[in-house]
Structure 1
Amino acid sequence: MAPPDAVVTDRHAAWLHGAEGALAPGEHLALQPLSVVLPPGRGRLRNTISDGGERELAPRDITSVHGLRVTTALRTAHDLGRRRWPDEALAGVDSLHRVPGFDHDAFVAGIERYAGRRWIRTLRAVGPLADGRAESPAESILRLRCHECRVPVVPQYELWHDGVHVARFDMAVPELKVAFEYDGEEWHSTPEQRERDRRRREAAARLGWIIVVLRKEHLFGQVRSAETMIRAGYAQSRERAGLSRHW
């Protein structure tokens, strides 16, 4: 049993707030050590079900969820954004932005509260990019790759033609008719799912769209060819529009 001044933090706090994608795949089914902290000077919990240390939290940083003391959604987003790796940071922050009522402006305005703290540079870099329209951590990372390639994508772009819905793309640059999609195993692996993807992408292609499809190995594999694929697709769309391939 945790002491009364313990607080659930980080990805487990995000999950308690309803942030889908905050936990690792399958973590909601298999118990993992909970992220729980104590106030400064209290040491750390030492048991098999929790993992954490000390953290200075103001009263406004703490709320109650299902009777548990938990960092607020805003504080949790700031904590998840202060990670070493931008991929992990943006995915965590995006997950909180999907929670109804989350205030992006308050989130951005509060970033400098953590000036001088560990990994503040990551929070400063990814915080303004946060967007709740990303539907999975992989989509957050794909959007970050597009940003790093200076490709101005719109998340979850709906394509309509003559009043008929043709497709919804994970990311798109509508004015150049180029889209970037992440095909994860959960939603794009069965024969039925693949056939559905094929039909909608062929319909979009007939309307002049270039569609770049990325998979797990492109974003996370040793080669990590996502940047090359993104730049190539964007360059092709610019060249077709009579623009320079270089931007």
Structure 2
Amino acid sequence: MRSSYQAVYPDVYAPAEVSLTLEHRAKAAWLWSHREGIIAGLTASALHGARWVDPALPIELVWSNARRPPGLITSDVRLRPDEYTSLHGLRLTTVARTAYDLARRGRLDDAVARLDALGNATGLRADDVMACARRHRGARGLRQLGTVLDLYDAGAASPKETWLRLLIIRAGHPRPHTQIPVVSLDGRRRYYLDMGWPGVMIAVEYDGEHHRTDDAQYARDIRRSEDLRDLGWLVIRVLKADRQSDIRARIERAWASRLRGDRGIS
């Protein structure tokens, strides 16, 4: 056993050569619960397709067992029959119930980013989460849940885009649209802008590291920038090293430029 298998949880083993993924560990946790537990929280979010979930995080499981092994978080909560489903042979909380749980815990901005990621993968509707909340009146964290849902936007393609959108909103600007579709003048290329205001043709985009390390991506970015300039978009590109005060100042200048009727690119 020791040479051929690795212990995942008590009485649950996997072949020694297998590199355990979050999905592997989730199934192992379910087996440890005698196939009765329900995968929940961030683990359920990842299984529903959400990106940006750390695969090394403990597996979250609705299961009444206070003596949980390392690598597991168990909770003894009551779920309605319509709050869990089956996926890949496992039982896990529905998208709406998962969002309801994630929105009520942790820092506000982290909760918004988690819902954005879940919504980006599943098309989560805020109304469905509120319907879940109405069935659990008096639960902890409902005030934060309402705030999170107000800030939620499934158009965020990464936690950094969520962070940037919240920075813009808190600077007092109108709430930006996300994933704005744009077609080049010749009709041959279609783009999606991270966020911005189509009415004044201002876009704000977060540039990841790949934009400077991938030559093919860099060439596409040049063509994209030229197309957007030709269309009259004013694009503010935000980098990881940019200070928040500088980002806010650049957006202020962009709005001032548009109010003056200027047609430049920043």
**The TM-score by the shorter chain falls in which range?**
0.7 to 0.9
Residues in 1 aligned to 2:101 and 2:250: alpha-carbon distance in whole angstroms: 30
TM-score by length of 1: 0.78
User: Which has the larger displacement, 53-62 or 85-94?
Assistant: 53-62
Residues in 1 aligned to 2:246 and 2:33: alpha-carbon distance in whole angstroms: 44
- 1:216 maps onto 2:240 in alignment: yes
Aligned residue for 1:198?
222
- 1:97 maps onto 2:115 in alignment: no
Change (3 A) 1:36 1:229: farther
Residues in 2 aligned to 1:167 and 1:72: alpha-carbon distance in whole angstroms: 32
Structure ranking higher on relative contact order (CA contacts 8 Å, 6+ apart): 1
Residues in 1 aligned to 2:109 and 2:211: alpha-carbon distance in whole angstroms: 21
How far the C-alpha of 1:230 sits from its partner, in A, is 6.1
Aligned sequence identity (%):
31
Change (3 A) 1:226 1:69: farther
Change (3 A) 1:144 1:112: farther
Aligned residue for 1:17?
48
Any idea what the Cα deviations from partners look like across 1:154-205, whole Å, max 9, x if unmatched?
1111223445236421112111111010112246542332332233223322
Q: Which runs of 5+ in 2 are unaligned?
A: 1-31
Whether the aligned pair in 2 keeps the contact of 1:108 and 1:128 (CA below 8 Å) is: no
Aligned residue for 1:245?
none
Which structure: larger Rg? 2
Any idea what the Cα deviations from partners look like across 1:34-90, whole Å, max 9, x if unmatched?
11232xxx3435212312333332222222222222111110011111133222111
Q: Residue 121 of structure 1 is aligned with which of 138, 143, 161?
A: 143
Change (3 A) 1:192 1:139: same
Aligned residue for 1:169?
193
- 1:158 maps onto 2:181 in alignment: yes
AA paired with 2:179? Q
Name the SS for the 2:192 alignment partner: strand
Name the SS for the 2:75 alignment partner: coil
AA paired with 2:59? L
AA paired with 1:121? R
Name the SS for the 2:199 alignment partner: helix
Residues in 2 aligned to 1:114 and 1:142: alpha-carbon distance in whole angstroms: 32
- 1:71 maps onto 2:102 in alignment: no
RMSD: 2.8
Residues in 1 aligned to 2:45 and 2:102: alpha-carbon distance in whole angstroms: 9
Change (3 A) 1:96 1:173: same
User: Which has the larger displacement, 54-63 or 73-82?
Assistant: 54-63
TM-score by length of 2: 0.73
Change (3 A) 1:187 1:81: farther
Q: Which runs of 5+ in 1 are unaligned?
A: 243-247
- 1:56 maps onto 2:78 in alignment: yes
Any idea what the Cα deviations from partners look like across 1:118-149, whole Å, max 9, x if unmatched?
33222101213433222222222322223323
Change (3 A) 1:43 1:185: same
